[in-house]
Chains A and B, each alone.
Chain A
């Protein structure tokens, strides 16, 4: 991951392998610490959340995107700008509900699972990349958009594609102004 060209500091790249291996080590350690898959998933989600609440300002500072006017614009920005900036991949977006607040990001390449072929048998319901869900959830919460983010399909579990589902929750009625 390299920093954006506007930085005055040295432009250095960290090896992608190091990042992927670090993530793998993190998940492996969590699997040792917790017996149940749900606990590991919840822990990854919490960690992702605390990354997301900080990463959002970094994203906004570097990408200078304007305020999104609709949920679909938000989903597009997440897929085309944010994923590209941080992971180097561009998932495709599709809207999966008539009400216009459920979206799916379909990832055909996921750098985090470079070295993983399939989940072990005793960890069948582990969401390996649940950290990403937490990151998206935390980031959206800081710009006052409550959302539920989860993996709908996962290649590691045998599905055809990896799909992240984002469901924007309705804002409470008394918040008329988004400051």
Chain B
């Protein structure tokens, strides 16, 4: 049972808070000898596997680290281009870590505003006036729950599909927001939330919700 992440979006659609809570994802680290039997290609800011899926390394996984040192986008830790480095037989044997890349904060901002627009479209498509908007988005690997307050702030929680009690968790996050963010005199409305107490209490609430298990609190 897991709650993967929490997003808070302000009235204008900007992401003001984001927390990733999930357990570390499965990375695969393997030692390779020249020539590399995977086909790698650059994609956006990363080097991804294009062909040659094996041993837990899947197409779309990005190069995360070479010889233990994390890569910086398309360049190794000491500034060399990753593809050039891997084309040079003198650098082998080399140990490369592959895995699914985490979203960068810019990507999260973009996705949050996109969801904000989809939410608005959803409310307008509703046949009845005064729709609550998108409440849940369901996929096979996660469920996205969304709660919009009457003041226009949206709280989104991505959780395991079997996780229950998310509605209560969303209300609890609203309370935590109204307490530790809004009542902080140095917090300006609609701005990114940088309040330590908010972080702490939110993590506590997530842990309580996760411990409650698939059958709700008390199980």
Tell me if B198 is interfacial: C-beta within 8 Å of chain A: no
Tell me if B53 is interfacial: C-beta within 8 Å of chain A: no
- Contacts of B151 on A, CB cut-off 8 Å? 56-57, 60, 142-143
Out of A6, A60, A177, which one reaches B150, CB within 8 Å?
A: A60
**Contact-residue size bin, chain B (C-beta under 8 Å from the other chain):** 20 to 34
Q: Which of B122-154 contact A (CB under 8 A)?
A: 123-124, 130, 133, 148-153
Whether B130 pairs with A57 at a CB distance below 8 angstroms is no
Segment of A61-69, A80-88, A101-109 engaged in the interface with chain B: A61-69
CA distance A142 to B10 in the complex (A): 12
Segment of B58-66, B76-84, B101-109, B176-184 engaged in the interface with chain A: B176-184
CA distance A142 to B178 in the complex (A): 13
Whether B123 pairs with A53 at a CB distance below 8 angstroms is no
Chain A CB within 10 A, most for which of B120, B177, B182: B182
Whether A60 pairs with B149 at a CB distance below 8 angstroms is yes
Whether A61 pairs with B130 at a CB distance below 8 angstroms is no
Whether B123 pairs with A177 at a CB distance below 8 angstroms is yes
Tell me if A179 is interfacial: C-beta within 8 Å of chain B: yes
Tell me if A58 is interfacial: C-beta within 8 Å of chain B: yes
Tell me if B211 is interfacial: C-beta within 8 Å of chain A: no
CA distance A143 to B148 in the complex (A): 12
Tell me if A170 is interfacial: C-beta within 8 Å of chain B: no
Chain A positions within 8 Å of B, measured between CB atoms, are 6, 53-54, 56-58, 60-62, 64, 67, 142-144, 177-179
Chain B positions within 8 Å of A, measured between CB atoms, are 120, 123-124, 130, 133, 148-153, 171, 174-175, 177-179, 182-183, 189
> What are 26 pairs between A and B in contact, CB < 8 Å?
A53-B189, A54-B178, A54-B183, A54-B189, A57-B149, A57-B151, A57-B174, A57-B177, A57-B178, A58-B178, A58-B179, A58-B182, A58-B183, A60-B150, A60-B151, A60-B178, A61-B149, A61-B178, A62-B175, A62-B178, A67-B130, A178-B130, A179-B120, A179-B133, A179-B148, A179-B152
